[in-house]
Amino acid sequence: MKKITILFVCLVSFISCETVDVTNSQYNYVLNTELEDLLKEIQLDFPILIEKTERVGGMLTRLEYLFGEQYIIWNEPVNSETWDVAYSNLLPKMIEAQQIAEIEDAYNHLGVIKTLKAFTLITLVDKYGDIPYSEIALPNPNLDTGESVYNIALEILDSALIDFGVEGANMETDYYYNNDYTKWVKLVNTLKMKIYNSTRLVDPSAINNFENIVSSGNYISTIEDDFELKYANSEMNHPAYIKDYTASGAGRYRSNWLMDKMVNLDDPRRRYYFYRQIECVPGNFDEDGNYCEPEVFDEAVVLCLNENQPAHYPSDMVFCSVSHGYWGRDHGYSEGIPPDAFKRSVAGLYPAAGKFDGNEFASVSPGIGGQGLGVLPILLSSWVDFMQAEVSLATNDEGSANTFMQSGIQKSVDKVQGFIALDSDANLSYVPTSNDVSNYINSIAANFTTGDISEKWNVLGEQQFIASYGNGNNSYNFYRRTGFPTSLQFHLNENSGAFIRSFLYPQEVVDANTNIDQKPNLEVKVFWDNNPAYPEFPFAN
C-alpha cells in the first residue's frame, strides 16, 4: 500500500496550495485515469502556448501583418495570455501528471510530460528571458536566469530519454505520434539541437554538442517525424481558417513583405500559403503585367493609395500593395478597417487548410478548401535542415550550408504540396511541377553561391523565414541570433521604437509578486542574444 502526497503547486498565478494524502491502494486505478485525462489536456494545452507565442513572433518578422505605430503595443494583452497558459494551466498540470506517472511507473507518459515541459520552459525563456521556475511552488517566486532554465530543460530532456528507454504502457491518447516513442526520442534530441543552436553565441561547446546529435542520426529528419498538431474536426479548426473563411469575408490581413517576396522569387509555395479573392490590387499589376487603374472609390478601400512611400524606405522596398492581386498590409500600418473583407488575400491551403489558389479569384465562405483541417507546425524536419545550414554558415562551411539549405527548401515544398489532397476542388493545373520546384531551388542555391557572406546570410534567412510560415517563433529566434535577412520591410514608422528583444512581464504579475521587477524596456536581451543593442541591431528593426 502506497502513501501518496500530491502537491498542487501555487504557481506564479497565485492559486492556493493544498496537498492530498492518499493511503488507499484502490486509488491506483483513479490515478491512472486521472493521468490519462491530464495528459490529454496537456497535449492540447501545449499548442495553445505555441499559438500565443508564434503569431506575435511572425508579426515581428513579417511573416504576418503587424498593426501599430509602436512595437510596445504588442506587449499586452499578448503577454498576459501567454503567461496564464503556462503558469495557470500547463505547468501545474505537468507537475501533477508527473507525480502520478512516477508513482505508476508510467515511463512513456513520463517521457512525454518531460519533453513537453522542457519545450514549454525554453519557449518561455525565448519570450521573456528570466522566468520563475525553481520556486514556482512559493507564493512569490524569484526569477531564475534564462541560462539556468535552459540548463534545467536539458536535464529534463536527458531524463526523458531515460524514461523512453524503459518499457512502459502506451498512453491512452497520443495526439502527435500515435504512441511511436522512437519519434518522441527524435523530438527530444531535436529539442536539444534547438537549444544548442540557440546558445551557440554564448556557449563555446554548443556547436560540438549540436554536431554530436547530428552524428547520431537520431533526430527529426523526415516529414514523417515532424512534430505538429493536426486540427482534426470542425470543433478544432486552424485559427487562421476560423478568422478568414467566414460569411462576412476575411478577418485578417496578410504580410505584404512575405507575399511580395514570394511573388518576386516565384516561390512554388505561394499558391498554398495564400488564396486571392481578387485578380489585381488597384494601383498595381496583375499576373499578366496589366496595370489596374484605380477608380475613385478605390481610395476608400486601399487607404494607402495616395500616400507616398516613407522617406526612410529604399526605393525598391515594397510599399502599400503587391502585384498579382495579393492584397495585404505593410509592416506597422495602423489605419482603420475599410470594406475590403472580400478583397484581402487570406490564409491558403498550408498550414490552415484553406483554399488552394488556382486563379479562381472568388470570395471566401465557410467550409471551402480544406475546411480548416490543417496543422500547427511546431518542429519540422525542414527547420532542422535550416538549423544545420545556420550552424554550417556560422562555422564558415559555406558548401554544407548551401546543401542543407537546399534540403530544407525541398522538404518544406514537399510538405506543403502534400496538402493538395485536402482541397478536393483544387485547380490542379496550377500546381507547380517538379521542374518548377527544381528550378526554384537551383536559383536560390545559385544566389547563395555567388553572394558575399552577407548575401549568403540574407538568402538563408529569407528561406528560413518562408519555411517557418505558420510558426513565427522559429523566425523570431533566427532573427535575434543573426540579424538576417536585412531585406525585411521596414516599419512604416521610422520612430517605431526598438525591436522587441524580449517581452515585458505581465503587469499584474509584477504587481502581485514583490520578487519580480518589471524590465526597463523591450531592449532587454535573452541570455543567448549577445548581438549589439538598438539601433545598431537588427538592421531592418
Within a domain: 192: yes
Residue 35 belongs to domain with CATH number:
1.25.40.390
Name the amino acid, one letter, at 142.
N
What is the reported pLDDT for 259? Answer: 99
Within a domain: 305: no
Average pLDDT over residues 84-88: 96
Q: 435 CB contacts (<8 Å, ≥6 apart)? A: none
How far is Cα of residue 200 from the mean position of the Cα atoms in its chain? Answer: 20
Q: How open is the CA angle 41-58-174, to the nearest 5 degrees?
A: 25
The CA distance from 121 to 349, in Å, is: 31
DSSP state of 361: -
What is the reported pLDDT for 77? Answer: 64
List, as one string, the DSSP characters of 184-252: HHHHHHHHHHHHHHHGGGT-TTHHHHHHHHHHHT-S--SGGG-EEEE--STTS--HHHHHHSSTT---S
List, as one string, the DSSP characters of 415-475: HHHGGGGG-TT--GGGSPPHHHHHHHHHHHHHHHHHS-HHHHHHHHHHHHHHHTTT-HHHH
pLDDT surpassing 60 at residue 13: no
Within a domain: 9: yes
Name the pTM for this structure. Answer: 0.93
Q: Which of 116, 104, 141, 103 is nearest to 49 (CA)?
A: 116
What is the reported pLDDT for 306? Answer: 87
What cell does 238 get? 486552424
Q: Check: CB of residue 405 under 8 Å from CB of residue 386.
A: yes
What is the reported pLDDT for 17? Answer: 39
Within a domain: 67: yes
What is the reported pLDDT for 78? Answer: 66
Span 16-30, pLDDT tens digits? 333 333 333 333 434
Specify which residues 230 forms β-bridges with.
375
Q: Which of 287, 279, 288 is nearest to 345 (CA)?
A: 279
Within a domain: 336: no
List, as one string, the DSSP characters of 291-333: B-PPPGGGGGTSTTTTPPPPTTS-TTS--S--STT---B-TT-
Give how far Cα 383 sits from Cα of 100, 108, 157, Å.
34, 26, 20
What cell does 539 get? 538592421
Write out the residue range of the structural domain in which residue 541 sits: 1-203+497-541
Within a domain: 80: yes
What is the reported pLDDT for 32? Answer: 77
What is the reported pLDDT for 18? Answer: 37
Report the chain's mean pLDDT, rounded to a whole number. 93
Within a domain: 325: no
Span 279-303, pLDDT tens digits? 999 999 999 999 999 886 677 788 8
What cell does 482 get? 543573426
Span 415-442, pLDDT tens digits? 999 999 999 999 999 999 999 999 999 9
What cell does 52 get? 500565443
pLDDT surpassing 50 at residue 10: no
Q: Which of 138, 176, 131 is nearest to 152 (CA)?
A: 131
Domain count, the chain: 1
The CA distance from 90 to 435, in Å, is: 46
Cell 462576412 sits at which residue? 248
Q: Which of 531, 525, 528, 522 is nearest to 482 (CA)?
A: 531
What is the reported pLDDT for 348? Answer: 99
The CA distance from 149 to 267, in Å, is: 39
Span 66-82, pLDDT tens digits? 999 888 877 666 678 99
DSSP state of 144: B
Torsion of CA 532, 533, 538, 540, to 10 degrees: -140
The CA distance from 287 to 157, in Å, is: 50
Q: Phi and psi of 404, rounded to 5°?
A: -65, -40
What cell does 59 get? 508579426
Q: 90 CB contacts (<8 Å, ≥6 apart)? A: 42, 45, 46, 49, 116, 120
Q: How many CB atoms lie within 10 A of CB 206?
A: 19
Q: 166 CB contacts (<8 Å, ≥6 apart)? A: 107
For residue 331, the number of C-alpha atoms closer than 13 Å in the C-beta half-sphere is 28
Higher pLDDT, 32 or 227: 227
Span 467-520, pLDDT tens digits? 999 999 999 999 999 999 999 999 999 999 999 999 999 999 999 999 999 999
Q: Phi and psi of 291, rounded to 5°?
A: -80, 135
The CA distance from 404 to 416, in Å, is: 18
pLDDT surpassing 60 at residue 14: no
Within a domain: 370: no
pLDDT surpassing 80 at residue 401: yes
Identify each DSSP E strand in 9-60 by its residue range: 18-22
